[in-house]
Chains A and B, each alone.
Chain A
Amino acid sequence: MKALVWEGANELAVRQVPDPKIRNEQDAIVRVRRTVTCGSDLHLLGGYIPFMERGDVLGHEFLGEIVEVGPQVRNHKVGDRVVVCSFISCGKCWYCQQQQFSLCDNGNTNPAITENVWGSAPGGCYGYSHALGGFAGSHAEYIRVPYADQGAFTVPDAVSDERALFASDSAPTGWMGADLAGVKPGDVVAVWGAGAVGQMAARASVLLGADRVIVIDRLDNRLQMAQTHLGVETLNYEQQDIGAELLERSGGRGPDVCIEAVGMEAHSNGPQLWYDQVKQQLRIESDRPIAAREAIYNCRKGGSVFVLGVFAGLVDKFPLGALMNKGLTLRGAQQHGQRYIPMLLERMARGELVTEHLATHTMPLDEAPRGYEMFKQKLDGCVRAVFQPTS
């Protein structure tokens, strides 16, 4: 079959790879109809995650049709149109039963790597390096889905492929950030990053009853998108004083909830960008936590900060003093999608959650390297590039 593979840092190619096979009785094989770039892929593409091998298939946010099921798959049959959670979880371990699905004990076939690097192993993830199991990604014609009854969700007829695609990762990730950060009616919420995950976190905050939701970015087209499609306020950090604006818009308190949806390659218009880039290139730190620092600094006393952006390792100049002395609650997680996807599909069916606008560019899989280049360089207003491996 055809797939988009990682050939080395900033090198991608579409080439033939072996078809996936049923390896466990709870597996399904899905024919991929739509699969989409994610900002976290750029960390893999750029070589910031050192657990990739030449030939690894990228992609973890996708939708398709089941073409084969293992003998222990009970909830799905051949022909089902499904959206699949990007994280692989068994549904049976203690973490899954606490609905912390991305922490699954059994979803990662290479637990030693992350146990050594992070202290414990999270679950597996499609197309996200051998640290998270080495599972082939979704930028391919077909993909193997382990624990299919747990991770694949039948899409209601009322929800289009274009909309349901984002129930795989962006929407549940964003919703989880708002939910676990404790957004409640009356809150002022600030979201750093107007990519798909940031937009979904902002929309979730609105639906959870936040009084004001403010999205921060430097790209006007994304901020305009957030205003138009989500009905939220926006700030451009290249043109506005973020700290002053947030204070003014929150009665001088600061936002109750601050959501970081940027990750380890954050930008800034200040000298801290150069500082972090130099340290990152010298391997003195692995991640640039610029937005996380700002979220902590600007959050109100006693407020809540949630890290949704993907980080891999160590950061420098982390404002632990602000965190401690302001009594903040800091949380982070990869998405516990199985907890939210059914509810999100229902909201999509009711029109409460729209996502089609995120797919700014749609193209065949053959053009995926060009799609990633557009996505990485933000060319032509690209927010997400969607690939169609099969029609």
Chain B
Amino acid sequence: MRWLIGGAVALAGGMVARRLLGGAGRSNDQWQRGQARRRGPRWHVATVNRPAGDVAPGGQFPEPLAGLGDAVEIQVRPAAGGRGTEIAVRLRDGARLPLAAAARRAAGRDPEQAIRAALRESKQLIETSEVLHPDYPPTTESTPLNKPLQMATRQGRREGRL
């Protein structure tokens, strides 16, 4: 059955690689509704289950978002249907070469990854008052077979579709 696991891990690795090579970065979204589509930094948007006043009390966002500083643009608006507040973040600096972005992303140095992590962590801080940590110390050990999975896990909050 080992070959089955190996194949499945390879499949999962392929999906992550597809993401790394830019699948998640291409889409535009409704935040820019009405504007012409163009290649550039996209808005990363998370909905927080709190009123807008709780998202940035006194104009101060939670540390993970505030820590991004002037490198990003942040917009806030009420979510439809009473779902709380939408927080949208994007890089101010627009033009990026796709290949260079993919390389930075693979190395874990892509600012889009930092935005995803900051959004996820800020959402958790606002909703639950803490960021959920994985178990530590781990019970697992490294093997050649689980290296791709460990790589994906290390990027758990920095990747994905957000």
- Interface, chain A (partner B; CB < 8 A): 3, 5, 8-10, 17-18, 20-21, 23-26, 46-57, 72, 90, 92-94, 97, 105-107, 109-113, 115-117, 119-121, 124, 130, 133-136, 144, 146-147, 281, 283, 286
Contact = CB atoms under 8 A, between A and B. Distances in A.
A113 B156 contact: yes
Given A53-B146, A55-B138, A130-B153, A115 B160 contact: yes
Given A26-B128, A116-B160, A57 B139 contact: yes
B141 A55 contact: yes
Nearest to B79: A94
Interface in B26-53: 47, 49
A281 to B, nearest CB: 7
Given A110-B157, A117-B15, 20 more contacts: A10-B1, A23-B133, A46-B1, A47-B8, A48-B4, A50-B12, A52-B5, A54-B140, A56-B140, A92-B49, A94-B83, A106-B123, A110-B152, A112-B155, A116-B19, A116-B161, A130-B152, A135-B134, A136-B139, A283-B7
Q: Give chain A's interface secondary structure class.
A: loop
B19 A47 contact: no
A50 B16 contact: no
A173 to B, nearest CB: 23
Interface string B101-143: 0000000000000000000100110011111111111111101
B149 interface: yes
Contacts of B49: 92-94, 97, 105
Contact residues on B (Cβ < 8 Å of other chain), bracket: 35 or more
Contacts of B139: 3, 5, 17-18, 55-57, 136
A283 B150 contact: no
B135 A111 contact: no
B143 A54 contact: yes
Contacts of A9: 1-2, 4-5
Contact of A135 (B135, B143, B155, B156): B135
Contacts of A121: 160
A165 B119 CA distance: 37
Nearest to A281: B4
11 contacts: A3-B139, A25-B129, A50-B11, A53-B141, A90-B124, A93-B49, A94-B47, A116-B16, A121-B160, A136-B139, A147-B132
B126 to A, nearest CB: 9
B62 interface: no
A111 B8 contact: no
A111 B4 contact: no
Interface in B47-89: 47, 49, 83-84
Contacts of B162: 111, 115
